[in-house]
Amino acid sequence: MKDKTLQQSNIFSLRNITIVFLVGYFGIFIIYPIYKAFAGSFHDWNPLIGKYDFIGLENFKSVLTNNLFWSSITNTFIFSFFSVVFRIIIGLGLAMLLYSKLARFKTFFRGMFYMPTITPLVAVSFVWMWLYNPQFGLINKVFDLDINWLRDPNWALPAIIIMTIWKDFGYATVIFLGGLMGLPDEVFEAADMDGASRWQRFVHITWPLLKPTTLFVTITSLITYLQAYVQILIMTEGGPGTSTYVISYLIFDEAFVKYNFGTASAMAIILFVLIGILTAIMFKITGESEGLA
């Protein structure tokens, strides 16, 4: 009886320690930074000189009338849209290929495709800078091109998008492959008996059943790409000019280069709200489509 009571007491203590740890973690690393950014957005805040003066909505007015902010928003949405769309298309296509044609080698290819995803983004960015080099880069040499990828305003953002898609499509491939492996075989067997073509099976069975997986990949990708920063900093530093400025890089520039922490906080709050709105829209669209189905 004593042993049982002691065991229950140990479990209860471990549970309390876990709860305290989680509350402390979320409080220190999530809730407090959000609160600090929200409060800071209403202040003229420069920690270098100890300035923290309340100015109300002036930071938001300054941000919303800043042409560079809107240019960064446009670049962010272009970057996010194409990165998400091609990540899903390539990831789903490769997952279906592995599931149907290369089933025997799916473990090998799944690991190979996922390798770039777990490679540090800093290392990948430097490698792709070398590949994009206009003098000795492999991309220009292999395809017989004459493009200064990272110094041409028309090509810099597409170049970063291409690199990002290459690095991240393996994540979508693995997630979609897991979704395909969880689909019921009975449905496909019935479709085969009814004489359904591969395209009909995909449109009417595979794609609808993969909607939860697609939603997950879309939302996680969208949240990631709306906050993209590292590859921009390393490969172009927002240039040429401001052609690759995205909202996260602009926040960094305002906070840690110009030390306008109040303005940077206002931008961060706007980005936070945008991510929340887009996530809610995705859930609503998916919910309505499932309702119609």
Residue 114 confidence (pLDDT): 86
Q: What pLDDT, on a 0 to 100 scale, did the predictor assign at position 267?
A: 96
CATH of the domain at 275: 1.10.3720.10
* pLDDT confidence of residue 8: 52
Choosing from 22, 39, 59, the residue where a domain stops is 59
Contacts of 164 (CB under 8 A, 6+ apart): 79, 83, 225, 228, 231
Domain co-membership, 148 together with 32: no
Instruction: Provide the pLDDT for residue 41.
Output: 95
Residue 79 burial class via C-beta count within 10 angstroms: exposed 0-12, middle 13-18, buried 19 and up: buried
Highest mean pLDDT among 183-192, 195-204, 228-237: 228-237
Instruction: Kindly state the percentage of the chain with pLDDT values over 90.
Output: 58
Domain end marker among 23, 41, 59: 59
Please check whether residues 35 and 154 belong to one and the same domain.
no
Residue 80 sits in the same domain as residue 12 = no
Query: What pLDDT does residue 288 have?
Result: 54
Mean pLDDT of 271-286: 85
Judged against a pLDDT cut of 80, whether residue 156 lies above it is answered with yes
**141 and 256 co-located in one domain:** yes
Lowest mean pLDDT among 12-26, 162-176, 267-281: 12-26
pLDDT computed for residue 187 by the predictor: 81
Would you place residue 292 in the very low, low, confident or very high pLDDT band (cuts 50, 70, 90)?
Answer: very low
What sign for the dihedral angle of Cα 47, 51, 53, 57? negative
Q: Which helix (H) or strand (E) holds 52?
A: strand 51-54
Number of domains in the chain: 2
Alpha carbon of residue 255 to chain centroid: 22
More confident residue, 174 or 111: 174
Last-in-domain residue among 59, 81, 103:
59
Q: Is the pLDDT of residue 101 over 70?
A: no
Give the orientation angle of helix 211-226 with respect to helix 261-292, to 10 degrees. Answer: 170
Judge whether residue 113 has pLDDT over 50: yes
Mean pLDDT, residues 73-102 taken together:
91
Local confidence band at 120 (pLDDT 50, 70, 90 cut-offs): very high
Quick one: pLDDT at residue 100? 76
Q: What is the residue range of 72's domain?
A: 63-292
pLDDT tens digits for range 14-35: 777 888 888 888 888 888 988 9
Residue 2 has pLDDT above 60, yes or no: no
Phi, psi dihedrals of residue 102, rounded to the nearest 5°: -115, 35
Q: Residue 290: its pLDDT value, please?
A: 54
Give long-range contacts, CB 8 A cutoff, 24+ apart: 55-64. Answer: 55/262, 59/262, 59/263, 59/265, 59/266, 60/266, 60/270, 62/263, 62/266, 63/263, 63/266, 63/267, 63/270
Residues 96 and 166 occupy one common structural domain = yes
The pLDDT value given to residue 245? 96
215 and 283 co-located in one domain: yes
> Per the structure block, which two tokens stand in for 204?
């009417």
pLDDT of residue 195: 78
Whether residue 146 sits in one domain with residue 215: yes
Q: Do 177 and 49 share a structural domain?
A: no
pLDDT score for 102: 63
Is 121 in the same domain as 45? no
Residues 55 and 75 in one domain: no
pLDDT top residue among 57 and 292: 57
Both 18 and 114 in a single domain? Answer: no
Inform me whether the pLDDT recorded for 279 exceeds 50. yes
Q: Are residues 99 and 173 in the same domain?
A: yes
